[in-house]
Amino acid sequence: MNGLLASLGVSNPVLAAPMAGGPTIPAMVAAATRAGSLGFLAGGYKTAEELAAQIGSLRGSTPVFGVNLFAPNPVPVDRDAYHRYAVAIQVEADQYGLDLTSISPLEDDDQWHAKVDLLRADPVAVVSFTFGIPDPSVIRDLHRAGSLLVQTVTTPEEARLAASSGVDALAVQGFGAGGHYGTLTPDHLPVPVALPDLVRQVRHVVALPLVAAGGLANRVDVAAVLQAGADAAMVGTVLLRTDESGASDPYKSALGEGGDRQTLVTRAFSGRPARALPNLFTARYDAIAPEGYPAIHHLTTPLRRAAAAAGDSDRINLWAGTGHASAQEGSAEKTLSRLAEAL
């Protein structure tokens, strides 16, 4: 990656992770560039048109950046379990005048084909994938378009599989990561392996450049993953409260008040395991949430939207990695520069 990063003009090996659902906005990607780092637009949940607009808004000021996509790897929901869950969480939606029980399960592909077409036609420096490994034709086409390709993996087995797909680098995501666990097998919960150990395990089986992510909170954590064989580090949670984060106000406040609270891995919001701060919603529904992505994500979206608008942090997904206590206010540029000091 160091060679790859140098070829992109990136001097700071602490990269800014893509964070879909609001936190990553073009300003955060531009801040990463100012810090000598590399940022990724979060293509997930957006329409292809919305992603195109964000790409367009960065082009002039920030020529080198990445785009992250959710590659299809659906976990179809069981219809009965879906309806039982909709009925269970309806009590939360009642106070916003929403009817979740009438929403049919939606198993869409997050406009995958339209987004790939966009990146074929309007290439960016780096494209990264999570949740699934794209078809060989997509890898071939995006390579032809001139993009470097990065695949998220969470185990050595996934690393082997990803390496054989022809991508250029791997994002090795550890169990402490905030947000969705980018595993190829979301029916399995993350195995608690310390990130430096996971990097060593992956380094042992693949020769590709590695970007280590998950729970990195300070310079010591960053140095440890580089020491273990990663070529770069990537942080998400520590950027969530920064000036350039588009996270909602109740989300930022909850992080600010998070103290040393333990995070949990939950399917309650999306039907796919994700690490979050506990709140009323996880306390009530974590235990009964079915598997099923993206259907459960779509089911809870109207509630989360209404709750965010109302400043209600009890009914939104407070994605957070294990290092959330280090998420500070201030500029993202300074945060990324500070994490890379004396490396």
**341: which residues sit within 8 A by CB, 6+ positions away?**
219
- Does residue 18 bind ligand FMN (CB under 6 A)? yes
Radius of gyration of the chain (CA): 19
Which of 13, 39, 105, 215 is the binder for ligand FMN (CB under 6 A)? Answer: 215
- Output the CA–CA distances (angstroms, integers) from residue 269 to 81, 175, 233, 290, 293, in the order listed: 14, 18, 27, 10, 10
Q: Is the dihedral of CA 102, 107, 109, 114 positive or negative?
A: negative
- Does residue 132 bind ligand FMN (CB under 6 A)? no
Q: What helix, strand, coil percent values describe the chain, rounded to 5?
A: 40, 15, 45
Which of 178, 271, 273, 290 is the binder for ligand FMN (CB under 6 A)? Answer: 178
- Does residue 39 bind ligand FMN (CB under 6 A)? no
Considering beta carbons, is residue 88 or 194 the nearer one to ligand FMN?
A: 194
CB of 276 to ligand FMN, least distance (A): 9
Query: What does the alpha-carbon distance between residue 298 and residue 280 come to, in Å, rounded to a whole number?
Result: 20
Angle at 209 between CA 207 and CA 215, to 5 degrees: 120
Considering beta carbons, is residue 171 or 306 the nearer one to ligand FMN?
A: 171
Residues 60-89, one symbol each (x = binds ligand FMN by CB under 6 A, - = not), give --------x---------------------
Considering beta carbons, is residue 4 or 222 the nearer one to ligand FMN?
A: 222
- Does residue 29 bind ligand FMN (CB under 6 A)? no
Binders of ligand FMN in range 305-324 (CB under 6 A): 319, 321, 323
β-partners of residue 82 are none
Residue 33 φ/ψ, nearest 5 degrees: -60, -40
Which of 26, 39, 105, 179 is the binder for ligand FMN (CB under 6 A)? Answer: 179
Candidate ranges 136-144, 178-186, 190-198, 329-337; the one touching ligand FMN (CB under 6 A): 178-186
Candidate ranges 95-103, 132-140, 141-149, 177-185; the one touching ligand FMN (CB under 6 A): 177-185
Residue 17 structure tokens: 């992770």
CB 315 within 8 A of CB 303: yes
Candidate ranges 114-122, 142-150, 185-193, 207-215; the one touching ligand FMN (CB under 6 A): 207-215
CB of 203 to ligand FMN, least distance (A): 18
- Does residue 214 bind ligand FMN (CB under 6 A)? yes
CB of 277 to ligand FMN, least distance (A): 11
Residue that is written with structure tokens 């980018």 in the block = 182
Query: What does the alpha-carbon distance between residue 255 and residue 247 come to, in Å, rounded to a whole number?
Result: 10
Query: What does the alpha-carbon distance between residue 253 and residue 106 come to, in Å, rounded to a whole number?
Result: 31
Query: What does the alpha-carbon distance between residue 231 and residue 14 come to, in Å, rounded to a whole number?
Result: 10
Which of 19, 27, 35, 340 is the binder for ligand FMN (CB under 6 A)? Answer: 19
Query: What does the alpha-carbon distance between residue 155 and residue 160 come to, in Å, rounded to a whole number?
Result: 9
CB 224 within 8 A of CB 199: no
Name residue 162's amino acid: A
Binders of ligand FMN in range 281-310 (CB under 6 A): none
Binders of ligand FMN in range 226-265 (CB under 6 A): 235-237
- Does residue 42 bind ligand FMN (CB under 6 A)? yes
Question: Can you give the binding site for ligand FMN, defined by CB under 6 A?
Answer: 17-21, 23, 42, 44, 68, 130, 152, 173, 176-179, 182, 213-216, 235-237, 319, 321, 323
